[in-house]
Amino acid sequence: MTATPPRAPRRLIVNADDFGFTNGVTAGIVEAHAAGTVGSTSMMVHCPGWDDGVRQARANSTLDIGLHLNLLVGRPIVAARSLTDARTGSYLPLRTIVRRSLLGMIDSGEVEAEVTAQLAALADAGIRCTHIDSHRHTHALPVIRGAVARVAARLNLPLRRPVESHMRTAGGLASQLHRGVIGAAWRVTSVGAPRTRSPDHFNGVAMQGSGDFARDFMNEIDSLAAGTTEVMVHPGRVDDALVAIDSYTQPRERELAALTSAAVRERLRRDDLSLIGFSAL
């Protein structure tokens, strides 16, 4: 009788973006971590929730924390004329950053300096950075991709590869367009970019805004491929600070409810996968 071959190991990183964005967002991520479903997060530097985020990071030593590179909210740490409004010194809106990146109007040296400065801010706060990703996936854009990858490669930090691995959790038209644009940008900017480490697979864009996040998340877990998969999530508590600066609000509450539910917690406790953080890569 032929023995059944052992199942290939599957490792899962559930990474919550936007730690430190606002106090409410951070509170939701900490709740999900306490529930045992989120083991990794990525932190925004010098946003409205920065001070509370630093306190929460220090109080939750078992939570892996990476840099959620911010090139869109507030102001840069260093001088970055190609990324900012000359009148206000604030970051330009996403559509302008996209246009400038496509036209080669962004200074890669400024981006590299800003990434380095944001990493230094985490280090100065006593936070050990385990990986890098970015707000609204700006690190997939031309010029920005190369600059961020140079820093990640130099420091041997994993860098998110935001190319969705499959279509099993297909969302609506908006999410499909979103995932398609991000994936295409990443493939194009891969030419000539420094090689960086990342998990084998990535998913999460298609689940954003889902009306039944728990169902979609568990479907995602059931269909994990062999190797290591990063699943991006955005749990959070909606507060006034978030409403003032971001359009993704109530879906964060739905994601949090799902990630702290008994059904999801029980699913992740099964022995068919291992929950890890980026520090285990």
- Residue 198 DSSP symbol: -
For 105-190, strand residue ranges (E) read: 129-134
> Does any domain span residue 248?
yes
Tell whether the torsion through CA atoms of 217, 15, 275 and 37 is positive or negative.
negative
Task: State the pLDDT at residue 88.
Answer: 96
Q: Does the pLDDT value for residue 154 go beyond 50?
A: yes
Task: State the pLDDT at residue 191.
Answer: 83
Residue type, 144: I
Domain that includes residue 71, residue range: 10-280
What does the alpha-carbon distance between residue 57 and residue 183 come to, in Å, rounded to a whole number?
Answer: 31
pLDDT-based confidence at 185, cuts 50/70/90?
confident
> Does any domain span residue 115?
yes
Q: Does the pLDDT value for residue 4 go beyond 70?
A: no
Instruction: Give 85-142 pLDDT, tens digit per residue.
Output: 999 999 999 999 999 999 999 999 999 999 999 999 999 999 999 999 999 999 999 9
CB contact burial 145-154 (16+ within 10 A = b; e otherwise): bbbbbbbbee
> Does any domain span residue 39?
yes
> Does any domain span residue 2?
no
What is the CATH classification number for the domain harbouring 173? 3.20.20.370
Domain count of the fold of the chain:
1
> Does any domain span residue 50?
yes
Instruction: Give 41-70 pLDDT, tens digit per residue.
Output: 999 999 999 999 999 999 999 999 999 999
**Who contacts 99 (Cβ-Cβ below 8 Å, separation ≥6)?**
105
Q: Does the pLDDT value for residue 209 go beyond 50?
A: yes
The count of C-alpha atoms lying within 13 angstroms of the C-alpha of 242, restricted to the half-sphere facing its C-beta, is 24
> Does any domain span residue 54?
yes
Report pTM: 0.93
Query: Higher pLDDT residue, 253 or 190?
Result: 253
Task: State the pLDDT at residue 217.
Answer: 95
Task: State the pLDDT at residue 171.
Answer: 55
> Does any domain span residue 28?
yes
Mean pLDDT of 241-269: 97
Task: State the pLDDT at residue 175.
Answer: 65
Q: Does the pLDDT value for residue 259 go beyond 70?
A: yes
Q: Does the pLDDT value for residue 78 go beyond 60?
A: yes
What percentage of residues in the chain have a pLDDT greater than 90?
A: 84
Q: Does the pLDDT value for residue 167 go beyond 80?
A: no
> Does any domain span residue 160?
yes
Mean pLDDT of 200-212: 91
CB contact burial 186-224 (16+ within 10 A = b; e otherwise): beebeeebeebebbebbbbbbbbbbeebbebbbebbeeb
